[in-house]
Amino acid sequence: MKQLLSIDDLSENDIESLLDLAASFAEVQKRSVPKVPALRGKTIVMAFFEDSTRTRSSFDIAARRLSADVATFAAGASSLSKGESLRDTVETITAMGVDAIVVRHAHPGVPGAISRYTDAAIVNAGDGRHQHPTQALLDAYTMREALGEIAGKRILLAGDILNSRVARSNISLFTRMGAEVVVCGPHTLLPPHRDGTMFGYPVSVVKNIDDVIDSVDVAYMLRIQRERIAEAVIPGIGEYRSVYGLTAERASRMAPHAVVMHPGPMNRGVEIDAAVADSDRSLVTQQVANGVVVRMAVLYSILGPGRFDTDDERAVVEDLNLVDTPDPAEGEESGSDHVDPAPQDSSTKPDNASDPATKVKETA
């Protein structure tokens, strides 16, 4: 695997291998010093052009626990604010000798565009409403940990589906892993769907979560993406909660084994009640914890192994029984060069280096 731009870049076998590798790294988390020299000598840049708490911190911790060197790029304090183009910024960072760039951006397709400007590996940490592949992977890992195999499970995705990169990535992953996906949300917050498909994958669409809440294995709640909505698309918060919110009463009707998930940040009292978010059914904090080991797996699969200064360091990594440990000379032969087509934002053309529109004005 050279890079990760979209969950669709990964085959079902790739996904299973990454989840198994994450389980190996979960053992590291239990140690008194949760760190291994697996990526020593590698340099990873965190280039977040959009606000983030969970994803940015998770990638940073994951890289450091693999002993990589980590640099943080602050868009607001960079030369982008002086009119420098995105391409020039990326080429400048690359010239400093980096191995990977973790990118989050408000515009769809920017991570893919950046991959054309650099030899460094690109990991998409979320681009607009397009993709969030590591969130989908950590959700699958958390679900598998709680419920066993994903195949055959009935998963409800409820909320703002139209503007959610998490929904797009998860619908792809869950359906390809054999789950039944049910989607629910206001018609103004649902993407185009016909013939039982959404984003090209089979789904069922229901008008009210009361229709399915007692039959699902997972209730996956999504917040309203206010930062991506130009105008009001729902009558009011109270009405939204009454039809689409996971209230304590609704949660009480779920099957005993069923769980609740949310990618965060949560709007308590809107898409999910506080009592539900804090209940024994909730896997929200476990999702956050699992995000670290899943991102360790992704970074290691792309960059590993790193430099071992001693045989003891090599032995520490080999004792983890890592899945398909790549040879440094052969590591670039695996994976996919596929770049997932992204819905383009007319306000920016990141793939055209000569276009003035590449001088993206960042708000993060």
Beta bridge partners of 115: none
| pLDDT at site 282 | 98
Q: What pLDDT sits at residue 360?
A: 36
pLDDT, residue 78, reads 65
Lowest-pLDDT range, 96-105, 215-224, 291-300, 307-316? 307-316
- Domain 7-130+288-336 annotated CATH 3.40.50.1860: no
Pick the CATH number of 133-286 from 3.40.50.1370, 3.40.50.1220, 3.40.50.10490, 3.40.50.720: 3.40.50.1370
pLDDT digits 0-9 by tens, 12-63? 999 999 999 999 999 988 888 899 999 999 999 999 988 888 999 999 999 9
pLDDT at 245 > cutoff 70: yes
What is the band of 77 on the pLDDT scale with cuts at 50, 70, 90? Answer: low
> Average pLDDT for residues 159-177, to the nearest whole number?
96
What pLDDT is stored for residue 15 in this prediction? Answer: 97
The predicted pLDDT at position 237 comes to: 84
Q: What is the pLDDT of residues 298-354, one digit of tens each?
A: 999 999 887 776 776 677 677 776 534 444 344 444 344 444 445 444 334 444 433
> In the chain, where are the structural domains located?
7-130+288-336, 133-286
CA 265 to chain centre: 13
- Per-residue pLDDT of 108-149, as tens digits, reads 999 999 999 999 999 999 999 999 999 999 999 999 999 999
* Of 181, 167, 101, nearest in space to 136 by CA: 167
What's the pTM value of the predicted model, to 2 decimals?
A: 0.85
Whether 7-130+288-336 and 133-286 share one fold: the answer is yes
